[in-house]
Amino acid sequence: MKNLKKSTALLLAALTLAALLAACGKTPVSNGPAAVDLKEIVSSLLTGEKALGLNGKYAAFEEIKEGAADPALLGSWGSADGETVYSFAENGRVKISYTLGEANETGEYRYTCLKIEDKNVLCMEVESVSYGENDAEEAGMALSYSCYTVRGDALYMLETEDSEKLSHSYAAPLQMLYRADETGSVAASVQANPVDPRSFYGRWVSEEGEFTVDENGLTLGEQTFAVSLDENGRFAVASGEASTIYGFSFTYQRVYADDKRKNVESEGFGLNLSYTGKDKKDKPNLADVMVNWKKEYDYAEWYYTGSFLAAPNG
């Protein structure tokens, strides 16, 4: 029997493979200001459920007696590109809205916050789908845990590892949200929390190929591109006078030797890129190291993605 639980909200974020939750500010990767180090943020949030003692501890949201709303979370937070909004209320309810193209999905969930050792943990009761006998779908609710930190007007969250998942790997995107003002804009918060360009430095490898980012730009084979972050927090790769704009997400990935998830085979930082073209002729300038989802999966858009891991000695 399969028991694959996926929350609607978190699944949407993963499926976009874009940094719906990214930083921005026209910051050149080659000479931008030292600010938020994404690798440091991820490292500070990284843990597993066994380390937190959460695995199997609570069977239902009502069992979490020690939790409470964190005043630091109250209010509205949005992604730099405006496609994701979290609104935390003092009554323990959070509204989450995702926009993907013309599609929009909004849900309201119960939440509470826990303090476990040095970690702040956000627990949400979210919608899930499990598959029983004959692959019949069964809708229900599940508990989702994320470690989080609030730094200034920026909120960073990383979903904790679920050892009950029938998988030999763990991958979580760093969610980056910014406090909204009275008008709902996050522009001021985004500008106050620029990403350190050195977060992207290193050699990034996938099955399709690899590239290197350093103070000189992005090097792919014999070509070197200028790279920057645009006003909507997307990864801009310039070729000549034109730039290709990619959505990105910064992740952490861990692969185990088998489904028992005891022996770690490999782990490290990851970088996902995504690009949606206008038609089949509209390809990204990094097409050689990205997968055409339209060709592979018959998506409606001409959608290209690349999932890269940081090389150990990159």
Contact predicate 146/127, CB 8 Å: no
Contact predicate 189/280, CB 8 Å: no
- pLDDT, tens digit, 9 for 90 and up, residues 82-127: 889 999 999 999 999 988 666 788 999 999 999 998 899 999 998 8
pLDDT level of residue 162 (50, 70, 90 thresholds)? low
Q: Domain boundaries in the chain?
A: 6-310
* Burial class for 35, CB neighbours closer than 10 Å (0-12, 13-18, 19+): middle
Angle at 124 between CA 306 and CA 140, to 5 degrees: 90
Three-state DSSP at 45 gives: helix
Tokens 């003092």 correspond to 90
* Burial class for 222, CB neighbours closer than 10 Å (0-12, 13-18, 19+): exposed
pLDDT value of residue 150:
97
Q: How far from 183 is each of 95, 98, 213, 304, CA to CA, in Å?
A: 17, 18, 37, 34
The DSSP result for 116-130, as a single string, is ETTEEEEEEEEEEEE
Least confident of 11-25, 214-228, 296-310: 11-25
- pLDDT, tens digit, 9 for 90 and up, residues 221-268: 999 999 988 877 788 999 888 889 998 899 998 877 777 677 778 889
Quick check: pTM over 0.85? no
Average pLDDT over residues 179-204: 91
Instruction: Round to whole Å and give the CA distance between 239 and 286.
Output: 10
Contact predicate 174/39, CB 8 Å: no
- pLDDT, tens digit, 9 for 90 and up, residues 42-90: 999 988 666 788 877 898 999 999 999 999 999 999 998 888 999 999 9
